[in-house]
Amino acid sequence: MSPDKNKFITFEGVDGAGKSTHLAWFAEMLRQRGHDVVVTREPGGTPLGEQLREILLNQTMSVGTEAMLMFAARLEHIEQIIKPALLACKWVISDRFSDASFAYQGSGRGMDWNKLKQLEQWVHPDLQPDLTLFFDVPVAVARQRLANNISLDRFEQEQADFFERVRAGYHKRVQENPHRYVVIDAAQSLEQVKLQLEKIIVSL
Ligand SMILES: Nc1ncnc2c1ncn2[C@@H]1O[C@H](COP(=O)(O)OP(=O)(O)O)[C@@H](O)[C@H]1O
Ligand SMILES: [Mg+2]
């Protein structure tokens, strides 16, 4: 793998932070600069992963099951999509990755972080994002943005205190490994968020 030519970038943050809104635009900006970009998401990204996503977003289950299904989908995603693309010198931009498991199943639902670290170590011992953009936003702002959605999935339906814990979990991940992250002030307007992203693109 040539570390100069490929990059693995992930977008993280609570539901409603603005990840999906900005990801396509971010990828397009990179393409305009001549990079070969693969856009993908978690859970999902592969046919099996998308089937697991349907289950994960809609069916009630224990937190351990939820965590293992997330990592099962992730293993498939890494083997089928992420690693082949990086090997082909492409840039991979993923809407969520393992940080989300620590934030949601760990901090949100109370699963022991050490168990999640074991799953992470098992599923991707030698792979971490080169860069993670953490879309940080007050929970009340994120929830207000989701208020107009007609249908909310099993995660989006959670209460504010759940998202407060998820947000705190993301902050803990950032503190554990600060060099991997750029924190985006996602409470700002769409235009202001784009300006923050443009600065990152220039720095890449
Ligand atoms: N900076 C922003 N200002 C105002 N509205 C935003 C902003 N970012 C996203 N939104 C809106 O909030 C909603 C959720 O955004 P989305 O990108 O789906 O969030 P996520 O993928 O992080 O859950 C969408 O309706 C989107 O248009
Ligand atoms: Mg989204």
Do residues 83 and 92 make contact, with C-beta atoms less than 8 angstroms apart?
Answer: no
Measured in Å, residue 19 CA sits from the centre of ligand 2 at 5
Residues spanned by the domain of 55:
7-203
Ligand nearest, relative to CA of residue 149: 1
Confidence of residue 2 (pLDDT cuts 50, 70, 90): very low
Residue 2, in any domain of the structure: no
Residue 67, in any domain of the structure: yes
Residue located nearest, by CA, to atom 8 of ligand 1: 18
Domain of 199, CATH number, reads 3.40.50.300
Measured in Å, residue 13 CA sits from the centre of ligand 2 at 9
Ligand 1 binding residues, C-beta < 6 A: 13, 15-21, 135, 145, 188-190, 193
pTM: 0.96
Q: How many domains does the chain have?
A: 1
Residue 101, in any domain of the structure: yes
Task: Work out which ligand 1 atom sits closest to the CA atom of 13.
Answer: 22
Q: What does the pLDDT read at residue 30?
A: 96
Do residues 152 and 102 make contact, with C-beta atoms less than 8 angstroms apart?
Answer: no
Confidence of residue 23 (pLDDT cuts 50, 70, 90): very high
d(CA 4, CA 25) in angstroms, rounded, equals 22
pLDDT digits (tens, 9 = 90+) for 35-65: 999 999 999 999 999 999 999 999 999 999 9
Residue 115, in any domain of the structure: yes
Residue 1, in any domain of the structure: no
